[in-house]
Structure 1
């Protein structure tokens, strides 16, 4: 990006990874333009502020962001404490976003609708790498404006594009018509959203930790609100994967979650339905009937979707991407994160080299870089943007040397082009309800 060194670098999304990208760019003497669709930094996390993370503060803070905060006199949280999503926002992201160096470069309510090369559509090749990017943004004042930038880092996450409930990757028949009876992922069932769940038949769909967390909170609600009935549908033949390792889990909070869920199922508090691949929804006046591929039916007043998320690629239609055909991650990264073969503990640390696309100086980072794979860790995203910032600054050595600190296994490193097996137990940087439960954030 030497030809455009005077232009800013667009950072799409002001979640943890987007703000970390901005901090690393600033340390490199580069100018970020941070574009956040929501009203404030961490807008996606705001939707699950009531959820507690499985990993302590130590593994949820980016080094470059910490250096900026500490220089301002910021009071660090207790690094061994497990924060809630709301605490991640209030005690970390908002103070970071308020720093003059970040605030002056942050635009909120700025929804990116397209990225392209200035004056060139996707089909044009000649001199493509020498032309700056155009980022088209819808602003809060209702105006749409084009911003000219030297490079683009897409850290917009996947929260806004959940997977459908149908078992074939498509919405089940009648799913759109039943939208009024389908909640948001990770609803606040004992707080903000209590009235929608108290005394109702609630069907939770999904086999990850998002589902487990929601089910356990629903069980607490049922103790206070008689008549609350909890149904749980999973597509697999059992729920053993959700129960996890119990006391032997490398992250104790995650192990406790699985053990509690198992007890609730065994006690009959939660009614588990396995092998329930959803094929249809039938909306009625008072409830919805959910049909399975094998003909079974469940009736519910409200359905909680915990089936994961996928990247929104519409705004990137004019960008030359090279994506893995299965998980829609960068093609070199895809085989390393495919959830059929890998957990977060077997994904090597990686940076700009594996995140690169045919479109020079364009990177997808954070949860969105994992496409449909649910194994993303927040610390992985921090290492991604450190490497990408180094690459954009021309520091190839720093960009190619990637490291990931793990809580019990020390430091895993991969020098330019090498890989490393990361054993369990693993670092869970984002809440594992999201990382393993197929949810996401900016």
Structure 2
């Protein structure tokens, strides 16, 4: 029985070109010289076909223009000669029975078949997830589309800013995502921010519902605008508590949909590529526990860094407080301090890669808040911001083409002096 097992093993190895020790060291079929020096002694190499034999085999099949290969083809080519007695061929077929190449002229006796429906400006088949050329052209001609061209000319990286949460709740996500994607495919656009204040407002009632929205919206946008980055904006107040357990317990209860682990999962699951954390609550949310705005901000970025969120995506700090009613009235020294607190601190914390500043927005009473002078009048705060040339690529702002300060060309040219990125409001 033992001898039989050895015989079977040896036969198997020999078929693979590897055999048991050769009985003769002078075996002409040996290829042991090709093996590593540390190969086990019980493993040897044997040619199934020596290099010379392999060359002869190749010459046999390739010689005479491959005639031997042609002669070895199937004996029966599977053709039927309809002229032979007994062979029945179906009639009524189309064509002239001859092979034609694409682009060959139409035979003179061919019947007029008309122009196929698929020939024209649009392709024959359009994947329902894809943006058609007509949709992209229409988007390019919209106010936002025109602003994309204007912003691209300034050299700024462009994001499309939209809100798809309401469309999701209304059952119209697919249609809205396609409209946003038509803007996103414009030259110069790098990504889409498709929701703001996510989980902080009353749009959704549960964390599971938010996850479902993110999954569907992310899938729709990645299919319709492949290669574009996806972003959302939110706030995670409990991060500012630091080690204060009472603060953490109260804010976890107050903001049940904004659990840090759940929010971090949006990045880890690949649902979004950028997460913007708002800082508007830092000055007031923690007064009960005597946590200052500076300490709350420090706590937040320590917590973000400890969770390694930046390993899954980009983290952005967002601040609307730089803009003031009418325009900031700060001196140069005050503006410098504000920049230190609101721009430098998040970047130096090594947790936020970018800072997004709101430079113009309107409150419920219709009052316009600006980070610059009205109609771009001289302003100390704006002058100090223009000095941040070394971090310009890390600074972003939002712009609404429907509510210009002067006009899109003037506004975007001025914004490009400070910011390397811009989120263009889409109207959706």
Instruction: Judge same fold: TM > 0.5, yes or no.
Output: no
| TM-score category (smaller protein) | under 0.3
TM-score, with length taken from structure 1: 0.22
Larger radius of gyration: 2
Bigger proportion of residues as strand: 1
TM-score, with length taken from structure 2: 0.23
The structure showing larger relative contact order (alpha-carbon pairs under 8 Å, at least 6 residues apart) is 1
Bigger proportion of residues as helix: 2
